[in-house]
Amino acid sequence: MVKIIDYKAGNAPSVLHAVQHLGCAAEFARTPEDLAGASHIILPGVGSAKATMDSLREMNLISVLEELVLQKNVFFLGVCVGMQILFDHSEEEDTQGLGWLPGRVHKFDSSKVRVPQMGWNQVNFTGSAPFATQNDYFYFVNSYHAVPENAGDLWATAEYNEPFTAAVHRENIFATQFHVEKSGEAGLALLQRFLNLKEAPC
């Protein structure tokens, strides 16, 4: 069963609709108990890193997520802010992240580019992953971008005046700065490949 974390700052309904559109069984997770039996976990992101971390703490989800993802290797997909909080620290409201991936999250330089970045941007997949992904255009809404400490965690880049991290991957952890659920056929194709990593829940 696909479990989609539903917190007050997230975008869970849109992600649920995308997963169900692909014919997969999915439901919201709002408590630690809701995550039982998860084959895949998706953490959507809309809003700030601090609000997301605060919500996860209030819902008592951090320890169970660490157990399922880091110890039991359940497949995980973070989206937008759901990617940024995987790192050690975000400049956004001086927020400590989950620390699953070493690195920091920085704000785009507003003297050089419009902040936030909003719209379609070409993504170039350069890192290794257990499924093939074609370069394509995906939809972004972000003021901040992650800078991984380990080059091996970088999965894809995009350009916004200069290259920035568009996606990361390590073992069973996947995350995209772009919104897969708002990226049309390209986003659905990537989401389908993620869901097919284990005996399909579809």
* CB-CB contact of 83 with 177 (8 Å): yes
pLDDT for 79 beyond 80: yes
pLDDT reported for residue 126 = 87
Given the residues 24, 40, 80, 169, select the one marked as catalytic.
Answer: 80
* d(C-alpha 29, C-alpha 61), whole Å: 9
pLDDT classification of 7: cutoffs 50, 70, 90: confident
Q: What percent of the chain has pLDDT over 70?
A: 97
* CB-CB contact of 144 with 117 (8 Å): no
pLDDT for 40 beyond 90: yes
pLDDT reported for residue 9 = 65
Q: Which residue has the higher pLDDT, 131 or 90?
A: 90
* CB-CB contact of 100 with 173 (8 Å): yes
Q: What is the DSSP string of the chain?
A: -EEEE--TTS-HHHHHHHHHHTT--EEEE-SGGGGTT-SEEEE---S-HHHHHHHHHHTT-HHHHIIIIIIS--EEEEETHHHHTTSSEETGGGEE---SS-EEEEE--TTTS-SSEEEEEEEEE-S--SS----EEEEEEESEEEEESSGGGEEEEEEESEEEEEEEEETTEEEESSBGGGSHHHHHHHHHHHHTTSS---
Q: Which residue has the higher pLDDT, 131 or 22?
A: 22
**Residue spans per domain, the chain:** 2-195
pLDDT reported for residue 198 = 77
Task: Dig out the tokens for 114 from the structure.
Answer: 């419009």
Q: Give 95-144 pLDDT, tens digit per residue.
A: 999 999 999 999 999 999 999 999 999 999 987 788 878 899 999 999 99
Q: Taking the CB of residue 159, how many other CB atoms lie within 10 A of it?
A: 12
Residue 80 among the catalytic residues: yes
pLDDT for 194 beyond 80: yes
The CATH classification of domain 2-195, taken from the options 1.10.3080.10, 1.10.40.30, 3.40.50.880, 3.40.190.10: 3.40.50.880
Q: Taking the CB of residue 132, how many other CB atoms lie within 10 A of it?
A: 7
Using alpha carbons only, what angle is made at residue 90 by residues 115 and 41, rounded to the nearest 5 degrees? 100
pTM: 0.95
Q: Taking the CB of residue 105, how many other CB atoms lie within 10 A of it?
A: 25
pLDDT for 174 beyond 90: yes
Residue 179 among the catalytic residues: yes
Lowest-confidence segment of 29-43, 125-139, 140-154 by average pLDDT: 125-139
- Residue with the two structure tokens 């997909």: 77
Q: What percent of the chain has pLDDT over 90?
A: 89
Lowest-confidence segment of 65-79, 106-120, 171-185, 186-200 by average pLDDT: 186-200
Residue 181 among the catalytic residues: yes
pLDDT for 183 beyond 70: yes
